[in-house]
Amino acid sequence: MPGNAYTSVRSRTVANALRLYREQHHMSCEDVAEMLGVSASKISRMETGKSGLQMDDVASLLGFYKVPGARRRELLDLMRRGEEMGWWERQAGLPKLWRALIDFENKALRIHNYQALMIPGLLQTAEYAHALVKAIDPTLSEYELDKLVSARMARQTLLSRSNGPQYLAVVHEAALRIEVGDRGVMRRQLRQLQNVLERPNVTVVAVPMSAGPHVGLRGAFMVLEFEHEPAIVHVENQVTGLFLEDPADLEGYRLALRNILGVSLAPGATADLLAELIKE
């Protein structure tokens, strides 16, 4: 599903499971299709999430692959619960891309986020988020703005869950220095970053100005890793965002992250930098 902007977490989980079980049996889509009397393209579409998954079809494939009962019930229950919505799906006015990203964040085991020009959304204060979103889109009404900021604050609760993901934020020093709101807003935002450093599942490191040009100047990105499904990369620009799953894309962004970390400060030195910026 390379370049898919709005992939469902539930359909992705089931689709990937179907592909893995087929591969474990060393069968092609054509082999399975012939045995079940369906088209190979249907099997392929089910495994890539390009067609809606039907309960009967999934149950048939799980039975054909002799999937253990407990795992079979788990996957079918996941499909039955497809109508249940998280808070981000119920909230009116939330952009589709935000819904998809929040959906994936709530399923991830590890999140690695690089930001060059702004504080990552999962670590923003409400007043910083308000000033930032307003500056990015001045056409928003105050009601729309409040909705988006509330959603961003609710999104952050995943980091304080007992089963929350391990979160690594790599932030360029430029993002720490660009004044969003006013000096008071920025000072409180930097203190917020100091506070999150105390969480066992959150790591924040800064790329100093002294690092000079590096691969991170090509733009921000987020790598999300899951328990049962392949990792994905989320990238966003002025008008759209994408979720990338192609292995070559994943390896490229992982290499970029390693290179960026190679010029980043250690967590302790990052804490010292935050303290210095707060004093300025």
- Report pLDDT digits (tens) over 111-132: 999 999 999 999 999 999 999 9
Spatial CA neighbour of 176 closest among 254, 280, 249 = 280
As a whole number of angstroms, the distance between CA 252 and CA 246 comes to 10
Q: With contact defined as beta carbons under 8 Å apart, do 136 and 124 qualify?
A: no
**Segment among 69-78, 202-211, 226-235 with least mean pLDDT:** 69-78
pLDDT digits (tens, 9 = 90+) for 140-183: 899 888 888 888 888 888 898 888 899 999 999 999 999 999 99
Spatial CA neighbour of 3 closest among 255, 254, 215, 249 = 249
pLDDT digits (tens, 9 = 90+) for 39-77: 888 888 887 765 567 778 888 888 888 888 888 887 787
Q: Retrieve residue 21's tokens.
A: 């079980």
pLDDT-derived band at 86 (thresholds 50, 70, 90) equals very low
Q: What percent of the chain has pLDDT over 90?
A: 43
**Segment among 8-12, 113-117, 262-266 with least mean pLDDT:** 8-12
Average pLDDT over residues 9-36: 82
pLDDT at 82: 52
pLDDT at 255: 97
Tokens 């902007």, residue?
5
Which pTM was predicted?
A: 0.69
pLDDT at 97: 62
Q: What percent of the chain has pLDDT over 70?
A: 86
Residue 140 makes CB contacts below 8 A (sequence gap 6+) with 133, 134, 148
